[in-house]
Amino acid sequence: MAKSFDIFAASEKIMRMDDATWTRHANPWSVYSRMTAMPLLTLAVLSRVWIGWWALAAFALVVLCIWWNPRAFTAPSHTNHWAAHGVFGERVFLNRRSVPIPDHHAAWAYGLTWVSASGVLPWLFGLWAINLWAAALGMVLIVGGKIWFVDRMAWLYQDMKDTNPAYSDWQRV
């Protein structure tokens, strides 16, 4: 039986996330600064109005920063905070085929991914047509869905941290 496509695993692979990178990404500076990605991408694309083809350089710089972000910060001295638990929950979710997670957590993760995905079309239209309202609506759905997703992942981690020794080992007090 063929495996179905897993957008979450594909994203992890594209970002080249390994254990060390995940550990560094648990730094709250990494999590909170990452929330600027969509506004910065939007600004980079819209900057074509002001700087023409140089907008491609701005866009490339933002994409590079998105990739670099989880590597940019040191591992946190402690992980007793929402940001780290959200990151740990994402790792638990990515491992769901090996260590099953409760159905309600999976349903929320998929549902919130659809919320974020629903923002892509208005965001792209807004960028193409220079329609700030459409771009803003898209960003609200994309970023809002992602932040809610991270919150649900923090909850998932709280529910799963004692089910697997590796999960509890991520915690630093």
DSSP character string of 59-104: HHHHHHHHHHHHHHSPPPS---SHHHHHHHHHHHHHTTTTS---HH
Q: How confident is the model at residue 136 (pLDDT cuts 50, 70, 90)?
A: very high
Q: Is the pLDDT of residue 24 over 90?
A: no
Predicted pLDDT at 10: 61
Higher pLDDT, 14 or 50: 50
Residues 75, 81, 85, 86, CA torsion sign: negative
Predicted pLDDT at 21: 86
Count: domains in the chain: 1
How many other CB atoms sit within 10 Å of the CB of residue 109? Answer: 20
- What average pLDDT does range 93-115 have in this prediction? 94
Higher pLDDT, 11 or 55: 55
Predicted pLDDT at 7: 63
Classify residue 9: in a domain, yes or no.
no
Cβ-contact 90, 134 below 8 angstroms: no
Classify residue 4: in a domain, yes or no.
no
Q: Is the pLDDT of residue 2 over 90?
A: no
For tokens 């997703």, what's the residue?
149
Q: Is the pLDDT of residue 39 over 70?
A: yes
Classify residue 56: in a domain, yes or no.
yes
Identify residue 50 by its one-letter amino acid code. W
User: CA-to-CA distance for 49 and 78, rounded, in angstroms?
Assistant: 44
Predicted pLDDT at 8: 67
Burial class (CB in 10 A: 0-12, 13-18, 19+), 55: middle
Cα 123 from chain centre: 17
Classify residue 116: in a domain, yes or no.
yes
Range of the domain at 123: 15-169
Cβ-contact 90, 153 below 8 angstroms: yes
